[in-house]
Amino acid sequence: MLRLDKVTIGSHVTVAEISSSGMLRERMLALGLTKGAKIEVIRKGPTGDPTVYNIRGAMIALRKEEASLVAIYEN
C-alpha cells in the first residue's frame, strides 16, 4: 500500500489507514486525517520536508516521518 510521504506534488489521494498511536494519532485525527479523507499534496519545503497538504479545506504540514504513517490509495 502507498504511504503519504511517497506521493508527488499535485496528487489527490484518500486515506486508507493511520498506523500512529498515542498523542500523534490524536493530533492526526484532529487535523482531519481519518479513513476516507481526501488529501491534495500542495508543495514540499525547500529541503523536501515538511510537505503541505490540503485536507478538508485546511492546509497542514507534516514531516516525512509523520506522513509515512498514513497509508493511502490514489484517486
Query: Which of 1 and 49 is assigned the larger pLDDT?
Result: 49
Closest C-alpha to 44, from 1, 3, 2, 6: 6
Domains, the chain, ordered by start: 2-74 (2.30.30.90)
How do residues 11-56 score in pLDDT, each as one tens digit? 999 999 999 889 999 999 998 899 999 999 999 988 888 999 999 8
What's residue 18's pLDDT?
A: 93
> Largest Cα–Cα distance in the chain?
30
String of DSSP letters for the chain = -EEGGGPPTT-EEEEEEE---HHHHHHHHHTT--TT-EEEEEEE-TTS-SEEEEETTEEEEE-HHHHTTEEEEE-
d(CA 16, CA 57): 19
